[in-house]
Amino acid sequence: MSPEVYRERSPLSEKDCFVVFDRRKSTFTFPVHIHPEYELNFVHGARGAKRIVGDLEETITDKDLVLIANPELKHAWKDGDCKSNNIHEITIQFHPQLIEQYKNKNQFESIRHLLERASKGVSFGQGTIEKIQPLLQIITMETEGFYSVMRLFILLYELSKSNDYRVLSSGTAIEMNRTTELLNRLHEYISTNISADIRISDTAKELNMSRSTFARFLATNTQMNFTDYVLDRRIKTAILKLKAGLPIAEVADQCGFNSVSYFYRVFKKAQGTNPAAFRDDHNKLRVII
C-alpha cells in the first residue's frame, strides 16, 4: 500500500453493531484512508467536491451516497471545486460480522450481492438517495439501539433492491472478497483469544496458511509483522475496557499483558500517556456523539 493511505482507527467498539456520525462541516479534511469496518457515506451540499474510491476519482453532485465493503479499498472525499460552507455528511460504519453471520440465509441474498458489489465501492443514483434519505436520517436520531440495528438492516435491504447504482473501482471483487474474509477471520480469532498467548503458528493454521504465507499476507495487508499486529489489537481492546472504567490490573489481564508494568510501558509508547491517565482523561471529557 502506498504511504499516503491512512489506516483509520474507527471508534466502533467490539460490543456495538455500528456507529453513526451526523456532521455539518465546511470542508473535507480526512485523508485517503482504509479501515476494517464497512461504511455507508452520504454527502449533501458538496457539489463539485471530489470523491476517491480505489482507482476512481470523480466529481460529485449535490447528493452523494456510497457503500464500501472492503477493508483494503481506499477512499476519501476532497474539497475539489466545492464552494459550499454548509456540507451535511452522515457516515455509518458497521462490522462485517454483522452481515457475515446471515450471508448464506435466503432472506439476506440480495444484501449479500450488494456487499459483493460494494467490495469495489458502489455509488447510488439520485432516485435511490431520495428514497432512502428519510430512513438514513431516522437512524441518526434513533435512541433505541435494537431499533437502530433493525433500521440499518432495512436500509441495506432497500439499497440491495435498487438497480440505480454504479460500481466504482476497477479492482477484482473476488480477490478483494477473499482478502476481506481472511482479515475478518484473523480479527475474530485474535479478539476471541486476546487474553491468551497467541502464537503465529496457531494463527496461520486457523487461516489454513503456512507460517511463511501468513506472514507475507499479514505484512501486505496490514503493514505490520505478527508481533506488532497482536500488540496493536491488545492495545485497542485495552482502550475500550479502560473507557468502560475497568480496573487497570483487570484490563491488563484480560488483554493478555503478562504484567501491569509491561502494560503501562507498551500503552504509553503507543498512546503517549499511561493507562490511568488515559482512563481519567476519558472520564473527564466523555461526550455523546
- pLDDT tens digits along 222-272: 889 999 999 999 999 999 899 888 999 999 999 999 999 999 999 999 999
In contact, 77 and 47? CB cutoff 8 Å? no
CB 80 within 8 A of CB 49: yes
Strand partners, 18: 94
pLDDT in tens, 68-113: 998 888 999 999 999 999 999 999 999 888 887 787 789 999 999 9
pLDDT in tens, 169-200: 987 544 556 677 788 889 999 999 999 999 99
- Cβ atoms of 37 and 12 within 8 Å: the answer is yes
Record the cell numbers describing residue 153, joined without a space.
438492516
Angstrom distance (rounded) from CA 39 to CA 76 = 12
pTM, two decimals, is: 0.62
Residue 49 near residue 59 (C-beta atoms within 8 A) = yes
Domains of the chain, CATH where assigned: 6-167 (2.60.120.10), 193-285 (1.10.10.60)
Cβ distance 139 to 149 under 8 Å? Answer: no
What are the cell numbers at 19?
456507529
